[in-house]
Structure 1
Amino acid sequence: MAHIARRMFELLEPICLVTYFADDCNEELAALGHPTYWDGYFASRAAPLGRVPAQVVHAAFYNFAEGEAARHIPSAWETIPPEASVAARERGSAASLRRILGDEVADSPGLARAADLLTEAATSAPTEGRVMYAGMRTVAVPGDPVARLWHSATMLREHRGDGHVAALVGARIGGTEAHVLDALARGIHPPESFGRIHHLPKERLAAVMDGLRERGLVDAGGRFTDAGRETKRRVEALTDELAAAPYDALSPAELDELVTELEPVTATLVAAGSR
C-alpha cells in the first residue's frame, strides 16, 4: 500500500497547499485580527490541539526552529478563540479551491464523490501516536463538498506528517536537519539558502551542517553523501508505509475511482500553483 500512499500524497498536496499559497485563507485570518501570516498559521493549524503551550506545538510541528512557535503561541489565541481561527482557515481554503476550480468543477458530482471517498479514508485510521491527525479528527467534517474535500485532504496530510515525524525521529534527523536534506533532494545548493531555513541565524545553520558532516550525511561542500541520500530515501519510504493505513478503508475499485476523480482537480491546482 505504500505506493498508494505516495500517489495519494501527490494528488492531495496541491489541495492542501491553497491554505498556505493562496491569499483567501490569509485574508480570512487577517480579518479575525491576526497581524501576520505566521500568527494566523500557528493559531489555525495548532488550534485543534486545544490551548496547549508553545512547547507542545513546537514538538508536534517538529520542523520549526527553537523559539519560533513561542513567538505566536499562546499570544495568537489571547483575543481570538482557537475555534474561530480553525473556521477561518476552512472558509479561506474552500474559497480558494472554488475560485481556482470554478463552479462547474466545484459543484460537480465527481468532486462530491471524491470528497465522500476521501472523508471515508480520512476518518478511518487509528489515531494512536498521531497527535496532529488526532487533533484534526476532533474538528467537525463540513457538509459542503469543496470544504469537505479540503478538510479530509488536510486530515490525511496531518496523518502523513505525524508518520514523517516518527520516521525522522527514528533516523535521528532533527527538524532543521530535515529541511537541509529536503533542500538537497530538491537540488537546492547551498541548502542553507532553502526558504524554510535561510532566515535562521548563521551560527545555528553552521552547527546543523557541521553535525550532518560529522555523521557522514553531507560532504565538505554541503552536498549529499551516499549515506545521506540513502538516509533520505529510507525516511521517505517509511513515511509512505506509515501513511497507508487510511486507504485500507477503501476497496480497490473505490481507490481507482478516487484517483480518477482527483486527477483533473489536482492538475488544475498544479497549473495554478495552488494560488
Structure 2
Amino acid sequence: MTHTARRMYALLEPICLVTYLADESNVELAALGHRTYWDGYFASRAAPLGRVPAEVVDAAFYSFADGEVARHIPAVWETIPPEASVAARERGSAASLRRILGDGLAASPGLVRAADLTTRAATSAPVAGRVMYAGMRTLSVPADPVARLWHSATTLREHRADGHVAALMGAHIAGTEAHVLSALAMGIHPPESFGRIHHLPKERLAEVMAGLRARGLVDDDGRFTDEGRATQQRVEDLTDELAAPPYESLSPAELAELITALEPLTARLVAAGSQ
C-alpha cells in the first residue's frame, strides 16, 4: 500500500494546493478581516483545532520556526471565530477548483465518483496520534461534490502530514532542518534560499546548516551527503507507509477507479499550477 499512498499523494496534492496558491481562498479570508496571507493561513488551517494557543498549533504544524506561529495565534481568534475562517477556506478552495477545472470537469460524473471514493478513504482511518487529521474529522463533510473532493483531499493531506511529523521526529529531524532536506531533495541550492525558510535570520539558518553538517547529513558545500540522502529517503518511505491506512478501505477495483477518475482532474490542475 505504500506505492498507493505515494500515487494518491501525487494525485490529491494539486487539489489541496489551490487553497494556498489560488486567489479565491485569500479573498474569502481577507473579506473576514484577516490582514495578511499568513493570518488567514494560520487561522483557517488551525481552525479545526478550535481556539488553541500558539504552542498547540506550533506542535501540530511542526515545521515553523520559533515565534512564527505566535505572531498570528491567538490574535486571529480575537475578532474572527475559527468556524468562520475554516468555512471561508472551504468556499474559496471549492471556487478555485471550479474555475480551474471548468464546467465540464467540475460537473462530471468522474469528479462525483472521485469525491465519493476520496471521502470514504478520508473518513475511514483511525485518528489516534493524528492531531490535525482528527481536527479535520470533526468538520462536516460538504454535500457539494467539488467542495467534498477538496475537503476529503485536505483531510487526507493532514493525515499524511501527521505521519510525516512522526517520521521526522523518529529521525531526529526538526522542522527547519526538514525544510533544508526537502529543498535539497527538490534540487534547490543553496537550501537556505528555499521559500519556506529564506526569510529566517541568517544566524539561525547558519546554525541549522552547521547542525546538519555535524551529523553528516550535508557536506561543506551545503549539499546532501550519502547519509543525508538516505535519511531523507527513509523519512519519505515511512511517511508513505504511515499514509497508507485510509486507502485500505477501498478495494483494488475501487482504487483503480479512483485513480482513473482523478487523473484528468489532477492533470488540469497541474497544468494551471493549482492557481
- Give the TM-score normalised by structure 2: 1.00
Equivalent residue number for residue 76 of structure 1: 76
Q: Secondary structure at the match of 1:66?
A: coil
Equivalent residue number for residue 97 of structure 2: 97
TM-superposed CA distance for 1:232, in Å, is 0.1
Equivalent residue number for residue 108 of structure 1: 108
Question: What is the CA–CA distance in structure 1 between the aligned matches of 2:92 and 2:5, rounded to whole Å?
Answer: 27
Question: What is the CA–CA distance in structure 2 between the aligned matches of 1:199 and 1:105, rounded to whole Å?
Answer: 38
| 2:137 corresponds to 1:137 | yes
Equivalent residue number for residue 228 of structure 2: 228
Deviates more, 1:102-111 or 1:124-133: 102-111
Question: What is the CA–CA distance in structure 2 between the aligned matches of 1:269 and 1:157, rounded to whole Å?
Answer: 16
- The one-letter code of the counterpart of 1:153 is A
Equivalent residue number for residue 193 of structure 2: 193
Q: What percent of counterpart residues are identical? A: 81
| 2:170 corresponds to 1:170 | yes
Question: What is the CA–CA distance in structure 1 between the aligned matches of 2:239 and 2:117, rounded to whole Å?
Answer: 22
Matched ranges for 1:203-222 at <5 A? 203-222=203-222
Question: What is the CA–CA distance in structure 2 between the aligned matches of 1:271 and 1:92, rounded to whole Å?
Answer: 20
Equivalent residue number for residue 159 of structure 2: 159
Question: What is the CA–CA distance in structure 1 between the aligned matches of 2:273 and 2:190, rounded to whole Å?
Answer: 25
Equivalent residue number for residue 119 of structure 2: 119
**Superposed CA offset, 1:148-203 (max 9, x none):** 00000000000000000000000000000000000000111110010000000000
- The one-letter code of the counterpart of 1:158 is E
Question: What is the CA–CA distance in structure 2 between the aligned matches of 1:26 and 1:183, rounded to whole Å?
Answer: 26
- The one-letter code of the counterpart of 1:216 is G
TM-superposed CA distance for 1:261, in Å, is 0.3
Unpaired stretches in structure 1, ≥5 consecutive residues: none
Alignment length (residue pairs) = 275
TM-superposed CA distance for 1:103, in Å, is 1.3
Q: Secondary structure at the match of 2:124?
A: coil
TM-superposed CA distance for 1:86, in Å, is 0.4
Equivalent residue number for residue 273 of structure 1: 273
- The one-letter code of the counterpart of 1:100 is I
TM-superposed CA distance for 1:105, in Å, is 1.0
**Superposed CA offset, 1:130-157 (max 9, x none):** 0000000001000000000000000000
Question: What is the CA–CA distance in structure 2 between the aligned matches of 1:104 and 1:38, rounded to whole Å?
Answer: 33
Q: Secondary structure at the match of 1:17?
A: helix
TM-superposed CA distance for 1:50, in Å, is 1.0
TM-superposed CA distance for 1:108, in Å, is 1.1
Q: Secondary structure at the match of 2:126?
A: coil
- The one-letter code of the counterpart of 1:152 is S
Q: Secondary structure at the match of 1:102?
A: helix
| 2:241 corresponds to 1:241 | yes
| 2:165 corresponds to 1:181 | no
TM-superposed CA distance for 1:109, in Å, is 1.1
TM-superposed CA distance for 1:25, in Å, is 0.4
Equivalent residue number for residue 23 of structure 1: 23
Question: What is the CA–CA distance in structure 1 between the aligned matches of 2:271 and 2:54, rounded to whole Å?
Answer: 36
Equivalent residue number for residue 60 of structure 1: 60
Question: What is the CA–CA distance in structure 1 between the aligned matches of 2:113 and 2:244, rounded to whole Å?
Answer: 21
| 2:262 corresponds to 1:262 | yes
C-alpha RMSD of the superposition = 0.4
TM-superposed CA distance for 1:240, in Å, is 0.2
**Superposed CA offset, 1:54-73 (max 9, x none):** 00000000000010000000
- The one-letter code of the counterpart of 2:41 is Y
Question: What is the CA–CA distance in structure 1 between the aligned matches of 2:190 and 2:164, rounded to whole Å?
Answer: 24
